Amino acid sequence: MNYQQARQRMLENQIEGRGINDPLVLAAMGAVEREKFVTASYADLAYADSALPIACGQTISQPYIVAHMIEALVLKGGERVLEIGTGSGYAAAVLAKTARQVITIECIAELADSARKLLTELEYDNIVVITGDGTKGNEENAPFDAIVVTAGGPQVPKSLNRQLKIGGRMVIPVGPNETFQELVLITRKSEEEYSQEKLCEVRFVPLVGAEGWG
């Protein structure tokens, strides 16, 4: 299979074709080798218009959703971004090409170790992978210019709200059950004020942790 051609078709049909037009996002989606972030048995489906299973019962998100979430952050290239839910490391790799630094947290040690190894092999030197409870964020490196959460929670974790810079943006799936959510864009207006905008309906794996589904 010619992965470069498949990636270009994905970019044209699934990403640009659905209205994603941020140059940084388009360049990143066109550069990251998604086939490296899926299991070998799914490599030929790496650029399919769907989520795919990865290890530990988790998933790698649909390419369009990854692009949509990152575009909503309105990154310019110099930001520090916090990602919750590393998974295979794919979204972190895309973020790394649109921001200065990415700190990504994964609660499943096996996934964190695998993603850390792969991202190191692929020479992503501006990504830090942490094993832990992502719902608590990463106070040590806060505040963040942007936060992206790749698992669905019952509400926006208060810790993540606090760790967002004033003027910063957070994208997170939120819903009343573990199956369906709405993708929500949070913008921190001031010390105490946040705005919220609904982007689209989504389906993510549950956000597990002290401020998630437990």
Which amino acids are annotated catalytic? 61
* Structural contact between residues 150 and 62, judged by C-beta atoms closer than 8 angstroms: no
Bridge partners of residue 53, in order along the sequence: 59
Tell me if 92 sits within 8 A of 68, measured CB to CB: no
Would you list the DSSP string of the chain?
--HHHHHHHHIIIIIGGGT---HHHHHHHHHS-GGGGS-GGGGGGTTSSS-EE-GGG-EEPPHHHHHHHHHHT---S--EEEEE--TTSHHHHHHHTTSSEEEEEES-HHHHHHHHHHHHHTT-TTEEEEES-GGG--GGG--EEEEEE-SBBSS--HHHHHTEEEEEEEEEEE-SSSS-EEEEEEEE-SSS-EEEEEEEEE---B--STTTT-
What is the Cα gyration radius of the chain? 16
